[in-house]
Structure 1
Amino acid sequence: MPTFSPDLTLSLDVPTNIMNILFNIAKAKNLRAQAAANAHLMAQVGRK
């Protein structure tokens, strides 16, 4: 851990951590949506 003052640590680390979490959630949602679309496409191809 870097030894900054608590104020500096909070002002820098917390927003980047929140951004990383939000980015990871968005990425996971996107992957799930893509997987669902792929499964739907494969099901349609399989029916033909």
Structure 2
Amino acid sequence: MANHSSASSFGAPSPYLAFMAARAGRALRPEEQAEYEQLLTAWADFRHPS
């Protein structure tokens, strides 16, 4: 069974989680919204493959 933890195969945090950690405690700026949506979609697809 695959390990779908928050870390990549190299032990680094996922790009989505790193993006969110860098912005913890504040709202996303408008220019960050598109990147957030792309990373969230990729993370969700990885966590829950169809």
TM-score of Structure 1 vs Structure 2, range by shorter chain: 0.3 to 0.5
Q: Which has the higher helix share?
A: 1
TM-score (normalizing by structure 1): 0.38
Higher relative contact order at CA 8 Å, sep ≥6: structure 1 or structure 2?
2
